[in-house]
Amino acid sequence: MLHNIDVISSNMAAPVNSVGKTSADRLQVNCTSFQKKTRSKLISIPGTRPSVQNGQLLVSTGVTSLDYLLGGGLAVGTVLLIEEDRFDSYSRMILKYFLAEGVVCRHELFVATAQDNPDEILQELPAPILDDVAVPKPVEQPRLTGEPQDSLDAMKIAWRYQNLPKVQSALASSSRFGHYYDVSKTMEVEIRQAAKCHRFYLPDHITPSSAAHRVESYSALLKSLQEVIHREGFDLVTPMSKSRNILRVGLHSLGSALWGDDLCCHDKPRHSHALTTFLYGLRALLRSSLSVAVVTLPSHLIQDRALMGNITRLCDNAIALESFKGSERETNPLYKDYHGLLYVRQVPHLNCLARQLPDHKDLAFKLKRKQFTIERLHLPPDLSETVSRVSRGEPVGVASACGSSASGTKNLDF
């Protein structure tokens, strides 16, 4: 059961029979029998808002552009699957964004890992950017005296590029949701310790030498999460008088050999249903609680594509990250402004029959000095012209010569 925002309005009073009453009595009855239609106060949970599309309760992932792709945020009671990049750099960063947003919103955390201790991930959370910090505005250059305005307008761009449509690469909504973070700094200890965090470190629960290590690791994780949800009152059975909160669940690198799983080691794994069974139980547990989960998975190591498809369908949202690190695209001038590509594998259809697909499928991400962003991938004008000439069958030398001449005339034609 998903969590909608129920608005309860007061009912209109029953009509009163005014036969046999004076006009003054009827006027008094009309003034007192009808009440203004108002909305009752909703249960306020910090860091949440209702979706304008389906009324679903949403939380922020910590990445504003990712919230935009997911339809405004991550719905409570759902699972977001992140297919890791090869070096687990950017998928781990998105997970830390998700946990950092929970710390700032005073949500409770549940972090489960098999290799690194959960405290190591919590110590790497990015620092939030305070709202009261003034943003410096660009200084406008003074105009030279005697320089006509028409010449300044004409020198903005060459005539051959004036009619090209402007590409809006940034992904953002009109209303702000969530916070901004500085990845060059770590969160202060006082802020991090103020949040309540539940940890699950696999070596503390399962010994690697056990025969049924693959099956016991996921069952122990699901049991531990279920105990936290019931003990802390995140299930819907808890009385409404108690103050509500959100539990953010972060599960790092499920399906890897560190969890004792053989999905990444064999073409035909013996325990291929261990992870799918866990995801089925996880989604059922989140549906009946005020919880939301982000799961990372090394999909590039899983050989069975059919099994990977089943894992994706058992999650509500699914995205994949492809890093340029160590590949030919890292030195390709076409992708010089980006660090990788992002693919939307699956979007949920909550309380509706049709999914709301993103308006753009060509997406890329980049890590700036302080911020991780997702943008629309588009070709610059020069590269797009070169590619179009090559696609028409012209020799590469002719295309490059035309490109060089075009770049030269761009500075002359005003």
Please give the structure tokens belonging to residue 387: 């590619």
Tell me whether residue 107 is in a domain.
yes
CA–CA gap between residue 157 and residue 152 (Å, rounded): 10
Tell me the per-residue pLDDT of 118-154, one tens digit each, with 9 for 90 and over.
999 999 999 999 763 333 444 444 444 454 555 445 4
Residue owning tokens 């056990």? 210
Domain count, the chain: 1
Give the closest residue to 342 by CA, choosing from 355, 327, 360. 360
Tell me whether residue 194 is in a domain.
yes
Q: Angle, to 10 degrees, between the axis of helix 305-313 and the axis of helix 273-287?
A: 10
Tell me the per-residue pLDDT of 235-289, one tens digit each, with 9 for 90 and over.
887 676 568 899 999 999 999 888 988 787 777 777 778 899 999 999 999 999 9
Tell me whether residue 155 is in a domain.
no
CA–CA gap between residue 80 and residue 414 (Å, rounded): 50
The phi, psi pair for 67, rounded to 5°, reads -60, -40
Give the closest residue to 92 by CA, choosing from 330, 257, 262, 253. 253
Question: What is the torsion angle, in degrees rounded to the nearest 10, for the CA atoms of residue 87, residue 195, residue 192 and residue 131?
Answer: 100
CATH number at residue 286: 3.40.50.300
Tell me whether residue 216 is in a domain.
yes
Name the strand (E) or helix (H) holding 320: strand 317-323
Tell me whether residue 409 is in a domain.
no
Tell me whether residue 35 is in a domain.
no
What radius of gyration do the chain's Cα atoms show? 28
Tell me whether residue 356 is in a domain.
yes
Tell me whether residue 381 is in a domain.
no
pLDDT band at 297 (very low <50, low <70, confident <90, very high): very high
CA–CA gap between residue 267 and residue 218 (Å, rounded): 21
Tell me the per-residue pLDDT of 302-352, one tens digit each, with 9 for 90 and over.
888 899 999 999 999 999 999 999 888 888 888 888 999 999 999 887 777
- pLDDT at 396 exceeding the cut of 70: no
With H, G, I as helix, E, B as strand and everything else as coil, classify residue 24. helix
- pLDDT at 196 exceeding the cut of 50: yes
Q: Which domain holds residue 312?
A: 61-127+170-376
pLDDT score of 13 = 40
| pLDDT > 70 in the chain, percent | 65
Q: Which of 169-173, 279-283, 364-368 has the lowest mean pLDDT?
A: 169-173
